[in-house]
């Protein structure tokens, strides 16, 4: 059913403010989404009435906080289709989730082994593997993109070799909006006994994610991309992998027993969660995903796809505009370049009109090199954005271009 946009927008207090005396139009959801009252109130309620350290106390508040913390883990694991909440590790976000796996996989990467990524990866799903390869004297290979921003899976088959030990790939490109065929990619990799890590930071709020259906070995995502708080995220990992991998941080909570001579580690997921967790963040993350669930991910997807189609058609009417990323399967992201105009200049002028967009290389410098551009202007949409806002954005673009040519 269609989203009730007026009601939804009232759920997000930040959207009612003005920027430079103009109504805020927030088209930077790929960087972070805004937060509904459900999330804001849940975090506030925790600190007002439940604040206590979890797993470590017999007193009432500790038990309440522990129950809510673990219930959040259960809900989030169910949201992504995990078979067991033991397979969900709380982290600071997708970046830490990927770094966790990259560090823990060090024991399984040997000289001349290979790790495959794609040319469209965010730095967070590139630099950790690059550094791991440097450390272990292994080789980092990348799968190129096609002109429309999609991947050629035949090339992936040819890129895989007996030395390939892992494939790391984004579910949705933060620049191109391309939705990669993860299920088929995982099938190809598993045919060669290669584990797959998926960077789901750009997917979790926009399309249905079912890690069992995808059959991926790891799935990383962040709360703040899905209407939850910053500094919170999760890593899904198949139990057989998480049981094999060694923890990458050490301290309290992640241990079973400690003596001066030896330490044994806790069971999963706790062996990967050293120190006091961000309990409020976990509860806020749960609240953000529940908000998505309440509206229905299919309804959100339909709304955002219509918005993307509408905005794409509008910008293509402008002279000198090129859309970067035209895959048949994409969502929520519209990246453009305008001939002879730097994206930063456009973004600065649009900001003066109250329109928030992102400009630059979007933490994807190698992709920009492949595309032979320095950066793009990116409008990334969320569930609260409207076609009226797109119309204002188009008017703003025309005005900015007229001032810069």
Instruction: Answer yes or no: do 318 and 287 share one domain.
Output: no
Last residue of a domain, one of 293, 322, 349: 293
Instruction: Report strand pairing: 18-19 vs 139-143.
Output: unpaired
Last residue of a domain, one of 250, 265, 293: 293
Q: Classify residue 227 as exposed, middle or buried by CB count within 10 Å of its CB (0-12, 13-18, 19+).
A: buried
CB distance 338 to 320 below 8 Å = yes
Length of the chain: 405
Residue 296: how many other CB atoms lie within 10 Å: 14
Instruction: Answer yes or no: do 359 and 392 share one domain.
Output: yes
Cα dihedral 322, 328, 331, 334 in deg (nearest 10): 0
For residue 220, is it within any domain? Answer: yes
Which is the catalytic residue, given 133, 216, 363, 370? 363
Instruction: Answer yes or no: do 228 and 306 share one domain.
Output: no
- Please provide residue 244's backbone torsions phi and psi, each rounded to the nearest 5 degrees: -75, -35
Instruction: Answer yes or no: do 163 and 76 share one domain.
Output: yes
The CATH number that applies at residue 396 is: 3.90.1150.10
Angle made by CA atoms 81, 84, 87, in degrees to the nearest 5: 90
Prior bond to 269 cis, omega within 30?
Answer: yes
For residue 405, is it within any domain? Answer: no
Instruction: Answer yes or no: do 91 and 202 share one domain.
Output: yes
Q: What is the pLDDT along the chain (405 residues), one digit of tens a residue?
A: 789 999 999 999 999 999 999 999 999 999 999 999 999 999 999 999 999 999 977 899 999 999 999 999 999 999 999 999 999 999 999 999 999 999 999 999 999 999 999 999 999 999 999 999 999 999 999 999 999 999 999 999 999 999 999 999 999 999 999 999 999 999 999 999 999 999 999 999 999 999 999 999 999 999 999 999 999 999 999 999 999 999 988 987 877 888 899 888 888 899 999 999 999 999 999 999 999 999 999 999 999 999 999 999 999 999 999 999 999 999 999 999 999 999 999 999 999 999 999 999 999 999 999 999 999 999 999 999 999 999 999 999 999 999 998
Cα dihedral 88, 91, 333, 176 in deg (nearest 10): -90
Last residue of a domain, one of 244, 270, 293: 293
Rg (CA), the chain: 22
For residue 214, is it within any domain? Answer: yes
Q: 23 is written with which tokens?
A: 């109504």
What's the confidence (pLDDT) of residue 253? 80
Instruction: Answer yes or no: do 220 and 329 share one domain.
Output: no
What's the confidence (pLDDT) of residue 291? 98
Question: Of 323, 241, 333, 234, which Cα lies nearest the Cα of 284?
Answer: 234
320: alpha, beta or left, given left = phi > 0 and alpha = psi -120 to 50? left
| Residues with Cβ within 8 Å of residue 358, at least 6 apart in sequence | 28, 30, 31, 347, 377, 378, 380
Match 């933490």 to its residue by tokens.
363
Instruction: Answer yes or no: do 129 and 141 share one domain.
Output: yes
**Which domain range does residue 135 map to?**
40-293
For residue 33, is it within any domain? Answer: no
For residue 54, is it within any domain? Answer: yes
Instruction: Answer yes or no: do 251 and 134 share one domain.
Output: yes
For residue 124, is it within any domain? Answer: yes
CA atoms within 13 A on the CB side of 375: 17
The CATH number that applies at residue 71 is: 3.40.640.10
Asked whether the CA dihedral 375, 321, 314, 352 is positive or negative, the reply is: positive
For residue 60, is it within any domain? Answer: yes
Instruction: Answer yes or no: do 103 and 225 share one domain.
Output: yes
Q: Alpha-carbon distance 171 to 115, whole Å?
A: 17
What's the confidence (pLDDT) of residue 95? 98
Instruction: Answer yes or no: do 230 and 353 share one domain.
Output: no
Q: Give catalytic status of residue 363 as yes or no.
A: yes
The tally of domains found in the chain comes to 2
Instruction: Report strand pairing: 255-258 vs 263-265.
Output: antiparallel
Question: Of 383, 242, 391, which Cα lies nearest the Cα of 310?
Answer: 391
| Residues with Cβ within 8 Å of residue 204, at least 6 apart in sequence | 80, 221, 222, 225, 226, 289
For residue 35, is it within any domain? Answer: no
CB distance 254 to 272 below 8 Å = yes
| Residues with Cβ within 8 Å of residue 233, at least 6 apart in sequence | 90, 91, 92, 93, 94, 95, 96, 97, 220, 221, 222, 223, 285
- Please provide residue 141's backbone torsions phi and psi, each rounded to the nearest 5 degrees: -115, 155
CB distance 353 to 195 below 8 Å = no
Instruction: Report strand pairing: 139-143 vs 114-118.
Output: parallel
Instruction: Answer yes or no: do 246 and 190 share one domain.
Output: yes
Instruction: Answer yes or no: do 286 and 324 share one domain.
Output: no
Q: Alpha-carbon distance 203 to 205, whole Å?
A: 6
């Amino acid at each position: 059913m269609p989203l009730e946009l007026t009601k939804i927008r009232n759920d997000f207090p930040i959207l009612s403010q003005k920027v430079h005396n103009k109504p805020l139009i927030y088209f930077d959801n790929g960087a972070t989404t805004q937060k509904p009252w459900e999330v804001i109130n849940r975090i506030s309620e925790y600190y007002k009435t439940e604040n206590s350290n979890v797993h470590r106390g017999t007193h009432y508040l500790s038990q309440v906080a522990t129950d809510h913390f673990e219930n959040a883990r259960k809900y989030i694991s169910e949201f992504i289709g995990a078979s067991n909440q033991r397979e969900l590790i709380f982290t600071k976000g997708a970046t830490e989730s990927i770094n966790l796996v990259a560090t823990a996989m060090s024991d399984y990467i040997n000289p001349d082994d290979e790790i495959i990524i794609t040319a469209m990866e965010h730095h967070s799903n590139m630099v950790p593997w690059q550094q791991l390869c440097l450390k272990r004297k292994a080789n980092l290979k990348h799968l190129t993109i096609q002109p429309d921003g999609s991947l050629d899976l035949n090339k992936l088959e040819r890129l895989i070799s007996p030395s390939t030990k892992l494939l790391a790939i984004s579910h949705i490109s933060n620049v191109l909006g391309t939705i990669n065929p993860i299920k088929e990619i995982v099938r190809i990799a598993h045919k060669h006994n290669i584990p797959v890590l998926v960077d789901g930071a750009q997917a979790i709020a926009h399309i249905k994610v079912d890690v069992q259906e995808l059959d991926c070995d790891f799935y990383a995502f962040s709360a703040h991309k899905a209407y939850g708080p910053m500094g919170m995220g999760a890593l899904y990992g198949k139990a057989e992998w998480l049981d094999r991998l060694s923890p990458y941080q050490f301290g309290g909570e992640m241990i079973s027993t400690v003596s001066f001579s030896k330490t044994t580690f806790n069971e999963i997921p706790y062996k990967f969660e050293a120190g006091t967790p961000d309990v409020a963040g976990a509860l806020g993350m749960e609240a953000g995903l529940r908000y998505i669930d309440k509206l229905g991910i299919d309804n959100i997807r339909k709304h955002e796809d219509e918005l993307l189609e509408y905005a794409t058609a509008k910008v293509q009417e402008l002279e000198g505009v090129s859309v970067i990323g035209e895959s048949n399967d994409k969502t929520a992201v519209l990246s453009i370049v305008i001939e002879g105009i730097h994206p930063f200049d456009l973004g600065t002028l649009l900001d003066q009109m109250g329109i928030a967009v992102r400009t630059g290389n979007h933490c994807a410098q190698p992709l920009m090199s492949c595309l032979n551009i320095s950066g793009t202007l990116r409008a990334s949409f969320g569930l609260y954005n409207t076609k009226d806002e797109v119309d204002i954005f188009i008017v703003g673009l025309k005005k900015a271009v007229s001032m810069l040519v």
